[in-house]
Structure 1
């Protein structure tokens, strides 16, 4: 199986999530925050990796990848915040730490990919599980944080 298209999709999804987060620092978040959760639908092309019969991973490897993803979500959760500005709309708090962390996280995952000695099907599956492990908790906590700011002090 040729993974160049899948790698391109992974890079594209990461770039879109990063872009949306940066834009939200300068433009207000529209609606009631459902778009924060909706970005998780960008992960749907990767779910085909889970069904790949050529990926030979153990439940322990999947669990470790998922737990690693959850641990990696913690810095993202702490550096993502929301604020209501003078115009009464909700924005993502400007955070250089978040920008640096997101780029470092992606670069770290990309670098580690070369060190893992297993077939590419299994490696892609584990890295997708890791990505889900940090994106899903981060986006859910971001939605909860947004809703707290959105509901409190509404103008």
Structure 2
């Protein structure tokens, strides 16, 4: 059986980095044309090894439910993420305490649910990676779209 403490550490670090970058963007302008918004999705790359794990035994239904749950989790993130051009002419993430609270609540919910699911660690890690992809990918893609709308509206 695989030791998951390094993977859990990576997951926590990725979540912390995404959260940190989002908060920093509320106070520092976003550089460039916004490609860094979707570039953070490359931080998910180490998790793709979970998909290839032969020890993970999950059904297509479980994968579908995890993906749909992730998509539901993305909705509040999408609605609380916005961009604005400030008086200096640069684009920032709109300041939102609601976003901060929602992001932390979603992470806490995922962590709590993870402890409640009774299945082997390989399968559980795979499902929670799928859930993370289910909310991070739509959120970041729509965030990029929102940024580009503000960017081209110069």
TM-score by length of 2: 0.99
Segments of structure 1 that go 5 or more residues without pairing to the other structure are none
Alignment partner of 1:19 is 2:16: no
CA distance in 1, matches of 2:51, 2:45: 11
Q: Note if 1:89 corresponds to 2:90.
A: yes
In structure 2, distance between residues paired with 1:139 and 1:51 = 24
Task: Give runs of aligned pairs for residues 37-76 of structure 1, distance below 5 A.
Answer: 37-76=38-77
How far 1:23 sits from its partner (Å)? 0.2
Q: SS in structure 2 opposite 1:97?
A: helix
Structure 1 runs of 4+ off > 2 angstroms?
Answer: none
Q: Distance in 1 between matches of 2:102 and 2:48?
A: 25
Cα offsets for 1:112-135 (capped at 9, x unmatched): 111000000000000000000000
Aligned-pair CA distance for 1:46: 0.1
Report the aligned-residue RMSD.
Answer: 0.3
Q: Where do 1:111-130 residues align within 5 Å?
A: 111-130=112-131
1: CA distance, partners of 2:103 / 2:73: 10
Distance of 1:4 and 1:144 partners within structure 2: 35
| TM-score of the pair, normalised by structure 1 | 0.98
Mark the runs of 5 or more structure 2 residues left unpaired by the alignment: none
The SS at the match of 1:56 is coil
